[in-house]
Amino acid sequence: MRQRGFTLIELIAVIVILGVLAAITPNFISLPAQSYANAASRAELSYAGTTALSWLKADLSQASGVPIVTGTSSLSIPKPTGATVTYSFTGNQLLRSDSSLSGANKLLVAGVCPSAEVNTNPAFFLDSASQSIKVDLPLIARSNCSDTSVGNETMEFHDTISYRGTW
């Protein structure tokens, strides 16, 4: 007489296979959500860096004289109106202030942090020979530069902007 059913070995094999599948399934489920969060962080950093550089380019294109770089953390741009626009790295922020406007500094970018990955610090460099300003702007998707948690997106902007004018 033939009996139908599963042997003990077959049952143990099925339990082991189901256990392995149960262990790895959460990784596959959370992967799309993590990918979306990383893409959103990169998009936010890209927008912030591009916006800051656009402001800087617009102000430098209207400069009425040679910009002044103080150390590597401050850039002052004289305007034709006699006012001065100043960009400064303060803490982990890039601020823009316009002497012709009353009020507080305008926060352009938060999360400006030295990048340990490539040893880049936020900085402005004046190149008088080529009449340009070199900007290093490392950004990181966190509000506290000392936060070392895994998964923080980083993005670096490096640009050389000409300030040649007709003054």
pLDDT digit string (tens) for 69-120? 888 788 999 988 888 999 988 877 888 888 888 766 787 777 777 655 445 6
pLDDT value of position 118: 45
Q: Are 164 and 57 in contact (CB under 8 A)?
A: no
Single pTM value for the model: 0.71
Provide the residue ranges of all domains of the chain, joining segments of one domain with +: 8-162
